[in-house]
Amino acid sequence: MTDQSGTPSRASSRSGGRAARRSARASALPDHMRPVRPGMEGGGLRPLTQEGMERIHRAALDALETIGLADAPPSGVEYLTNAGCIQGDDGRIRFPRALVEDMLSKANRSVTLCSRDGRHDLELSGNRVHYGTAGAAVHMVDVAGRNYRDSTVQDLHDAARICDKLDNIHFCQRPMVCRDIPDNMEMDLNSIYATTAGTTKHIGVSFSEPDFVAPAVEMLHMIAGGEDKWRERPFVSNSNCFVVPPMKFATESCEVMERCIEAGMPVLLLSAGMAGATAPSTIAGAITQAVAECLAGLVYVNAVKPGAPAIIGTWPFGLDLRTGAMTMGSGEQALLTAGCAQMHKFYGIPGGAAAGASDSKMPDMQAGWEQMCSNVMAGLSGLNMVYESAGMHASLLGFCHESLILGDDIIGQALRCVRGIEVNDETLALDQIASVCMGGPGHYLGTSQTLDRMQVDYVYPSLGDRTSPKEWAELGKPDLLEKATARKEQILSERSAARFDPALDAEIRRRFNIHLDA
């Protein structure tokens, strides 16, 4: 379309540019060119100074050497004392400084958490950042009815299926418990089945009792195609609360950990003290205790099997000291997590912590600001594994499928912050500025450089609304939660790509009491 002089009209130019941008946006990029992706390098945020980290390290070593940990199981006492720990007359296990530092030198500096399909492996080292789910919520958030109900094995399976479809959710650690399965062993086994049948991404699970590990490993051997294939690529890790803060071993969980290590399963050493209750109320004190407890766990793991894959899970939580309620969405929580991430780098050990959960009961504005605050800070601090980063509400009591989907958008923006600003000849764009300003159109819309970079540099929300008020009204004033619900229903209407071969599924169901419908 031209005006009477034959010059292309402004409307035509703008329309053509928009069409080109839409066409470019519709073209999928190779993984290595995506604007955000798993394992990008963070680490630019450092709320702790070097002196601060060194003081926390020294204080943690002091705590291990003089206070130690109580309630180790007999097997743990044997492993630890054989390694050089000392059991006092009070029964507490104390850790000489030289022993801790020696075990740190032997610990695995890089851990690969395998996926079942080989396409979503996670390399945990340095400042590489990954986001995913976690937790033990006992309720599901019903956004339509604005209420809470007990979580079920079907809810867990559906959460895994949704995770499988979300680009910015990199792993699926069990986010809820199956309250419709009263038998604990069946609940643990069904949690493995429900998650592995829902996604091929890496899975994290827990075990209620040590004796439940063996049948679970049997199931995993079946899924993997044999023990050798499982040990070559273990696609499930054990989230293990091996301590009961402050400074006590969780006896049965330690026994679970020993059996998981023997089975070749990576272990998350999870210390979850609550600042002001089961950990010191100060941020520095809570980090110090979590570091001390996790260093004790690292010694334990390497006493069982030197170099076994382990992630130090310093998960101190904040409290509202006025009421005693957990404050997952607070600025203090974001600082706790970022400070812990720095300590992981201080030791050069793969680590994880909690971020992205909300105290809000629904996916509302409060949830948005709380989820973004800690997710961004966790990513910028270079946290290897950001647990509970999407879907978690009510201070870890409730999980929401719609919020999980919305969380994918939030994490996309957080990852763009993690990626940072690249400065080179191309991104400085001096040639573009000259071309546009001297004889050019006076704007950068539709230029080849803009089109070339629009997907590489920019992250676009899948559900977030960037329309004008006029366009929004013309589209029927779409609601964010309604769009998330529609996306959930669309995902769950399709058969999971991770479901097992029918013959394998039938074999698993013959061996185990699987509660999910076939």
Q: Which two tokens stand for residue 313?
A: 């899970």
CA–CA separation, 518 vs 515, rounded Å? 9
Per-residue pLDDT tens over the stretch 260-307? 999 999 999 999 999 999 999 999 999 999 999 999 999 999 999 999
Other CB atoms within 10 A of residue 186 CB: 18
- 367 near 393, Cβ under 8 Å? yes
Per-residue pLDDT tens over the stretch 426-473? 999 999 999 999 989 999 998 888 888 888 999 999 999 999 999 999
Per-residue pLDDT tens over the stretch 343-371? 999 999 999 999 999 999 999 999 999 99
Per-residue pLDDT tens over the stretch 149-178? 999 999 999 999 999 999 999 999 999 999
Per-residue pLDDT tens over the stretch 28-42? 677 777 888 899 899
Give the residue-averaged pLDDT of 301-329: 94
CA–CA separation, 453 vs 446, rounded Å? 11
Per-residue pLDDT tens over the stretch 240-262? 999 999 999 999 999 999 999 99
3-class DSSP assignment, residue 375: helix
Q: Cα dist. 423→13, 41, 194, 420, 455 in Å?
A: 30, 16, 45, 10, 17
Q: Which two tokens stand for residue 275?
A: 């600042």
Contacts of 395 (CB under 8 A, 6+ apart): 325, 326, 327, 328, 357, 359
Predicted confidence (pLDDT) at residue 14 exceeds the cutoff of 50: no
- 262 near 256, Cβ under 8 Å? no
Entry pTM: 0.93
pLDDT in the model for residue 1: 40
Supply angle C-alpha 262, 38, 193, rounded to 5. Answer: 45
Mean pLDDT of the chain: 94
The residue to which tokens 């199981």 are assigned? 73
CA–CA separation, 153 vs 148, rounded Å? 16
Q: Cα dist. 147→361, 392, 398 in Å?
A: 9, 15, 10
Predicted confidence (pLDDT) at residue 19 exceeds the cutoff of 80: no
CA–CA separation, 119 vs 167, rounded Å? 12
- 495 near 505, Cβ under 8 Å? no
CA–CA separation, 130 vs 39, rounded Å? 6
- 152 near 179, Cβ under 8 Å? yes
pLDDT band at 21 (very low <50, low <70, confident <90, very high): low
- Phi and psi (nearest 5°) for 417? -65, -40
pLDDT in the model for residue 296: 98
Predicted confidence (pLDDT) at residue 425 exceeds the cutoff of 70: yes
Which DSSP category does 7 fall into?
Answer: P
Return the closest-CA partner of residue 405 out of 353, 454, 367.
367
DSSP string of 168-188? T--EEE--B--TT--SHHHHH
Predicted confidence (pLDDT) at residue 12 exceeds the cutoff of 50: no
CA–CA separation, 150 vs 38, rounded Å? 32
- 346 near 57, Cβ under 8 Å? yes
pLDDT band at 421 (very low <50, low <70, confident <90, very high): very high
- 277 near 318, Cβ under 8 Å? no
3-class DSSP assignment, residue 435: helix
Give the residue-averaged pLDDT of 395-419: 97
Give the residue-averaged pLDDT of 380-393: 98
